[in-house]
Amino acid sequence: MRPAALLVVPLLLLSLAPLALGPGPQAWQAGRNDYRIAMRDGTVIDATMMVPAGTSADARLPAVVVIHGYGGSKDVGSARDASERGYVGFAYSTRGFGQSTGQMDVAGPKSMQDLKDLIAWLGENGPVDGARVGAIGCSYGGGHVLQLATMPDAGVATVVPCVPWSDLEQALRPNHAFKLTYTTGFYATGNGLVQDGCQPMCLDAAGTDLGRRQLYDTYDPQVHVGFASMVSGLGLGSAEQFFRERSAVYNVQDIHIPIFIIQGMSDDLFPADQALPFFDLIPTSEKKLYLGFVGHPRASGDGPEVDYVMGLAYQWFDHFLKGIGPDPVDPAHPIEVGMKPWTGSTLHLSAWPSERARFAFNTDGSLGAPGPAGVQAVVNDGLAGLQDDPVLPLLVGVPAQVPDGTPVDTLAWSLPLAQDTELLGTPRADLFLTSTGTEFQVAAKVFDVAPDGTSELVTRGIWDVPDSIPGLAQHVFFDLQPYRHAFPAGHTLDVRIAASDTPAYEPVRGQFVNVLSVGQGGSGMFLPLCPGMCAES
């Protein structure tokens, strides 16, 4: 699933209504209606309403509001898809993107006020039943939709946030380690390069730049402050309000409408840990969580799984907005989990598995029952460390999915698997560490290694210790990303530890050589493994 859109479909023009500036009553007709809608502060939002064919003048239909991903613009294709399913589809470009004016504020207070006002505008100006409005959005749009669910005056009956964040600071700076490539990439490409509606880049089919663009600042000043705080690690206290205002987790207790969350386990931007703790805190019983392999890279976004998930989303809307179809809520099994490669088979769980067995790091490189005690060092030399992501591989010269296996950089332990084995749950690193620096990082990853030596990254985690006393042993434990993965018989489960994971994460500054000693006799990994396939709970 691409982060900038819910579905990738051809842009076919239906009947085109003339542009009109809100907020006064506007005319509509069946098909496509384009509007320029003025917000409270004068920002003008570019919006499109798709009305199902044959809609009568006195009709009052359910509606689905579609919100695009970061750097995108109004998703007319998905709005049309909604109209073909019998809904009024409404898509708009959020402030600072597409043809909308204003400054982008990362789903901040101004953008959320826009969204609430646009939902009200839709009920007043379209053939819409204001009591039957839903919202769906992925990535940046998902962040809007998840926050919308926490607002009692939002004007929506149900929502489907897709690969959203729930805690923005934890998503971009997990365990104090700054996601370097993702955050700087978004910051660099989301700002105001505009020419004839092309944003952030204007290229022809061959990738050639079409010409000069006017550069202007489309970021709200708070965005600059928040980004600078994350990059520098300074002033995070003063940026706390910035993150809180954009994080639904602080208001999760206010969700009282049906909510269906879609999250990707292999999504390295907004992984499953952005959904699981949040989902448990939602007070309403009308809730569902789907965990699969959709979302941002490393997510595969297989077409059949995307189609399946979008089908679930509209089954949800059909039940809660149209009152048709079976109840999609299963209180006994509220979590549905997909598998890669997609086979159409999913697992239904009463709760995310919490059982984990501890495997020790042994001096002979084995992973299992505790063996001889020992200590081995890993060095952060400012190089690749555990880098194996498809994010900017050409920039750093490291092919995707190929870890840096230099022994001085990476320690590894192996568990050969004689039978099919499934990992389902949240692995946890349990490490005894000694650093030569006053700050250090430790990165942990789990790999599936085939008999021919090829490896696939399964899950990952990182921890940054900002205040370390050189030479003092510390007990560090942290969770890796929640995951589901099937290891075939004959494969090997590898755990690898390094003192950096660049450029995915910013390394420790000012210490290009930092020796991190791993106390193998006491260090290990908690792994949620099932012999064969894990059963439904």
CATH code for the domain in which residue 268 is found = 3.40.50.1820
pLDDT band for position 258 (50/70/90)? very high
Is 9 within a domain?
no
Q: Do both 307 and 243 map to the same domain?
A: yes
Do 340 and 388 sit in the same domain of this protein?
no
Same domain, 386 and 296: no
Q: Which CATH number belongs to the domain containing residue 423 in this structure?
A: 2.60.120.260
Quote the pLDDT of residue 374. 65
Are residues 185 and 259 located together in one domain of the fold? yes
Give me 380's structure tokens: 């952060």
Residue 439 has pLDDT above 70, yes or no: yes
- pLDDT value at position 25? 66
**In this predicted structure, what is the pLDDT of residue 379?**
61
263-286 tens-digit pLDDT: 999 999 999 999 999 999 999 999
Q: Where are the alpha helices (DSSP H) in 62-149?
A: 76-84, 109-125, 140-149
Residue 189 included in any domain: yes
pLDDT tens per residue across span 34-49: 999 999 999 999 999 9
Query: Does the predicted TM-score (pTM) go above 0.85?
Result: yes
Q: What is the mean pLDDT of residues 1-30?
A: 43
Are residues 461 and 482 both part of a single domain? yes
Query: What H or E segment, with its residue span, contains residue 386?
Result: none
Q: What average pLDDT does this structure show over 425-438?
A: 92
Q: Does the structure show a pLDDT above 60 at 406?
A: no
The whole-number pLDDT of residue 375 equals 67
Same domain, 273 and 369: no
- Look at residue 223 and tell me if it is in a domain: yes
Q: Which residue, among 276, 293, 401, has the nearest Cα to 339 in the 3D structure?
A: 293
Residues 339 and 385 in one domain: no
Q: How far apart are the first and last CA of the chain?
A: 28
- pLDDT at residue 81, as a whole number: 98
Lowest-pLDDT range of 289-293, 405-409, 459-463: 405-409
The domain total for the chain is 2
- 2 within domain boundaries: no
User: Is residue 298 located within the same domain as residue 395?
Assistant: no
Q: Which residue, of 349, 367, 395, is where some domain finishes?
A: 349
Of 321, 349, 377, at which residue does a domain stop?
349
Kindly give the residue spans of alpha helices, DSSP state H, lying in 298-442.
303-317, 393-396
Query: Does residue 100 lie in a domain region?
Result: yes
Residue 3 lies in a domain: no
From 349, 379, 401, the end of a domain falls on 349
Contacts of 286 (CB under 8 A, 6+ apart): 257, 258, 259, 320, 329
Predicted confidence band at 339 (pLDDT cuts at 50, 70, 90)? Answer: very high
Expressed as residue numbers, the domain containing 141 is: 16-349
pLDDT in tens, 309-337: 999 999 999 999 999 999 999 999 999 99
Over residues 129-183, the pLDDT tens digits come to: 999 999 999 999 999 999 999 999 999 999 999 999 999 999 999 998 989 888 8
* 7 domain-assigned: no
| Better-scored residue on pLDDT, 101 or 277 | 277
| Residue 11 within any structural domain of the chain | no
